[in-house]
Amino acid sequence: MDAQLLAFVAVAAGMVALPGADFTVVVRNALASRRDGLATAVGVAGGLVVHTALAVAGLAAVLVTMPVLFRGVQLLGGAYVLYLGLSGLYAMRRRAAAGDGAGAGSEEEGTGGTPAGPGRALRQGFLTNALNPKAPVLFLSLLPQFVPDGAAPLPRTLLLASVVVLLALVWFPAVALLVDRLGRWLRRPRAARVIEGGSGSALTALGLVLVAGPLLH
């Protein structure tokens, strides 16, 4: 049995399950509908496929070693996360102004300002992950540690990267289905406001951090 592979699976599972922008967007969209939540989850996994391809091709190394390019990706990713957060906060404020009974949690408008439709949800999940500037660093710093001495780097790296994508395809749809199952309670006006405000604030704060990072350097 490959002990290094098992250790990597455990580490990667912890990283994938760690709450972040991906988790927040999946939860928010799952409150709009099961379809949107699952589409967002698939989009997140699609973003990981992009990072996997970049790492295997060696482009991630180029990105990390070129500060200007890396900071540009940071700004772009931070701006998108910030946009999602502010959109959620604006939708919460609009809902409060219109009254809880006006379309609360309706599938036409979605919850938390999330546009209804799996296509948009898929795009949101994909961009949230693909524009994450920390992912290339993570892949470059973590994957080589689990390549045994004497092993061919490319097949091993492909295997490890595939494990990360597979874990994401299990974890994020499970989160979406759980949120949908609990939707009866989570979609209540008071709970919806708390979730909208919490997710919007979390994404806004994360976006500000990501945008401020490259600007302060």
Residue with token string 């939540």 = 37
**Nearest to 202, CA basis, from 33, 73, 26:** 26
Q: What is the pLDDT along the chain (217 residues), one digit of tens a residue?
A: 578 788 888 888 887 887 788 888 998 899 888 999 999 999 999 998 888 887 777 766 666 677 776 677 667 767 777 877 787 777 667 666 665 444 444 433 444 445 568 899 999 999 988 887 667 766 766 776 777 766 777 788 788 888 989 999 999 999 999 988 887 666 666 666 666 667 677 767 867 876 776 566 5
Q: pTM for this one?
A: 0.68
